[in-house]
Structure 1
Amino acid sequence: MEEVAITGIPAQGRTFDRRAIAPAARESTFALADGHDIRRIDWPGANDGLRGSILFLPGRGDFYEKYLETLDQWHRDGWRVTAVDWRGQAGSGRLGEDAVTGHIADFSDWVDDLAYVWRSWKSETRGPHVLAGHSMGGHLVLRALVDHRIDPDAVVLTAPMLGMSGPPLPLAVLHGVARIMTKVGKPTRPAWKWSEKPGEMPANRRDLLTHDAERYADELWWREKRPELVMGPGSWGWVERAYASVRRLEEAGAMEDVEVPVLVLSTAADKLVSHPSAARAAQRLPKGELVAFGNEARHEILREVDPVRDRAMAGVAEFLNRVAPPEVA
């Protein structure tokens, strides 16, 4: 593993409207293999996407509107950009018994969906082909790599959910507790409390995500503008299946068999996912690299204050320019 030192490069302008769909972008739906529709957004790419193509996958409870600024910046850098919701969250329906709890029968369902989207998207876009995933999205990208379901030219993972930030107990113990919780009640029930007042964000939620009050407020604005995006806690079924999927990644030889260049961006101050697990993954991956942050960054590194976000975006750009240069026309 190589740990990369990156100096922040200021973004040009800072005039992007994070509360509007950019004129260059197009929203649509995409039918998965079983006919389930998920939301999709595409930027065709400046200069006809001659730089290549990036497919972005958000995290648990996320929606692509939170990342419009980053997606548009990649577009302006010449990439053809696509982002999709995961089945069962944001504007792509629900899989549990209510409108806000995030549930999944098994993470392999999402891996199947990603593989299906990947094949279609890759066939219609110009290479090099890059996969980027945040948090749970990063976990699922790595899981699909380990399971040999996708073949990107390069991968970018921001604050990937490769372990949970919580009690320092063995993974098998944490998984066992979650498994018990799915048996003593419905696995679709919420695994944690969202707020004392239904529908209201927890008071300390921003402290977990970002130092940037304005970017955090953008998310709340989109939730009010598009109520279908609102999601609260994960279900006990989600928690149990998440631990099971983490154990799959922890298997001996799993990450060591991945030959794709992978950049991991992670912060030691993350209170949602495990930074040590992310750093260890960068070491295990044969072509893994790490850009590490400290107290200056919380979980949503791409939605942090400008100096932090600029450093992250510069790190991604340097990595992609080196490992996935433009194809020769």
Structure 2
Amino acid sequence: MSFQSFPDNPVPEGAVEQTVTTADGVKLRAAVWRPAGPRKGTVCVIHGRAESIEKYYEVIGELLGRGFAVASFDWRGQGGSDRRLDNPRKGHVDDFSEFERDLEAFMQQVALPDCPPPFFALAHSTGGLVCLRVARRSRQTFSRMVLVSPLLDFGGFAPSRGVINFTAGAFSLLGLGDAFPPGSRIAQVEERGFKGNPLTSDLRRFERSVAVSKARPDLTIGPPTISWLHAACRAMNEASNPAFAASIRIPTLMIAAGEDKVVSPLAIERFTREMRIGSQIVIPGARHEILMERDPMRGLFWAAFDAFIPGSAE
């Protein structure tokens, strides 16, 4: 098994590793866990950009403790899944429809045949946007979705979406879509200091993520490529049309971080208002990775999750 345990971050017991093959031939790493007792359904843990299954061991354990089976996978271009470019540090797609293929293949080959229904999505950041894109076409994928800090617009650390879209589109037309954006670089793990990081205010969980990267550099990637940014902008542009939000027929809970600088909390609020069966809560003081935040903030998250997902609080 390719999953590695750490003293402060053990692999939850019972992991069954699987390989998913997408419609365009990409191999994805996936895994399933089953709780010891009665099963209340399956929570599909769907990551953000640059993440892997290892980052979610704690969350998986908490879901198992609630009586859910858990299924998860690594997106193409990151974690233990196939990399498209020769440089494995480049997480790259030309269009977000590629991520839709990943999610659909995972559901068809892992979740639906091997896990108990009903199926619930717990998705973070980029994963939240992909879930919304799939949900607008099909009501059958999930019974309910919990989207944490979904990527609906860039936060305060980035230029505006319009500027990024125009610039990335122009570079892509010049044949530079596979390149990193000008001025970006791959930071070494030891350079990623805790102070001022935009992801979490919890030092222990921050250091736990760094430990995974140091032990398993093969799972890590650097900044998004220019094509990835252009694809993300096009996907966010589509989602900004009010008809997009109104087309979602799956009950959805959006959870925003009050201090998010990576994605826009305002865009999340606007999108939720346009949904027919969507609701939103904000975790005050939380940074982008709410599930990796300090315990009081995570407690607020789990209280909302338990109230929204049927059977969770039993």
The answer on whether the counterparts of 1:18 and 1:68 sit within 8 Å (CA) in structure 2 is no
The residue that corresponds to 1:243 in the other structure is 233
Contact 2:194 2:206 survives alignment (8 Å): no
1:175·1:243 contact (CA, 8 Å) conserved in 2?
Answer: yes
Matched, 1:124 2:114: yes
Residue 71 (structure 1) aligned with residue 60 (structure 2): yes
Residue 257 (1) aligns with residue 247 (2): yes
Contact between 2:95 and 2:231, CA under 8 Å: does it hold in 1?
A: yes
Instruction: Count matched residues.
Output: 307
Does 2:185 align with 1:194? yes
**Deviation at 1:318?**
0.9
Q: Cα RMSD over matched residues?
A: 2.5
Tell me which residue corresponds to 2:3: none
CA contact (8 A) 2:164 2:229 kept: no
Cα shift readout 1:191-232 (whole Å, capped 9, x = no counterpart): 25235x656544468621001111011111111222211111
Counterparts of 2:12 and 2:213, CA distance in 1:
18
Q: Larger deviation: 277-286 or 240-249?
A: 277-286
For residues 115 and 259 of structure 1, what CA distance do their matches in structure 2 show? Answer: 17
Paired amino acid for 1:268: G
- TM-score normalised by L of structure 1: 0.86
Secondary structure in 2 matching 1:28 = strand
Q: Which runs of 5+ in 2 are unaligned?
A: 1-5
Q: Which residue of 2 aligns with 1:234?
A: 224
Confirm or deny that 1:317 pairs with 2:273: no
Q: Distance in 2 between matches of 1:105 and 1:89?
A: 15
Indicate how the Cα distance of structure 1 residues 104 and 71 shifts in structure 2: closer, same or farther if over 3 A, else same: same
Q: 2:256 aligns with which of 257, 260, 266?
A: 266
The residue that corresponds to 1:11 in the other structure is none
Letter of the 1:299 counterpart: H
**Matched-pair contact (CA < 8 Å) for 1:144–1:150:** no
Q: Which amino acid aligns with 2:218?
A: E
Q: 1:140 aligns with which of 130, 137, 141?
A: 130
Tell me the residue number matched to 1:112. Answer: 101
**Structure of greater relative contact order (alpha carbons < 8 Å, 6+ residues apart):** 1
Gaps of 5+ in 1: 1-15
Does the C-alpha gap of structure 1 residues 145 and 325 become closer, same or farther in structure 2, counting only changes over 3 Å?
farther
Cross-structure match for 2:294 = 305
Structure 2-normalised TM-score? Answer: 0.89
Identity of aligned residues (%): 27
**Which string of whole-angstrom CA distances, capped at 9 and with x for unpartnered residues, describes residues 44-84 of structure 1?**
123242x1111111000011111111111111110010110
For 1:314 and 1:17, how far apart are their aligned partners in 2?
Answer: 27
**Offset of residue 149 of structure 1:** 7.6
Q: Secondary structure at the match of 1:47?
A: coil
Contact 1:37 1:92 survives alignment (8 Å): yes
CA distance in 1, matches of 2:18, 2:313: 29
The amino acid across from 1:165 in the alignment is G
Deviation of the 1:98 alpha carbon = 1.0
Change (3 A) 1:47 1:221: same
Matched, 1:92 2:60: no
User: Once structures 1 and 2 are overlaid, which stretch shifts more, 100-109 or 17-26?
Assistant: 17-26
- Structure 1 150/277 Cα, relative in aligned 2: closer, same or farther at 3 Å? farther
Gap change, CA 1:221 and 1:150, over 3 Å in 2: farther
SS of structure 2 residue aligned to 1:133: strand
Which among 205, 218, 222 is matched to residue 215 of structure 1?
A: 205
Residue 81 of structure 2 aligns with an amino acid whose one-letter code is: S
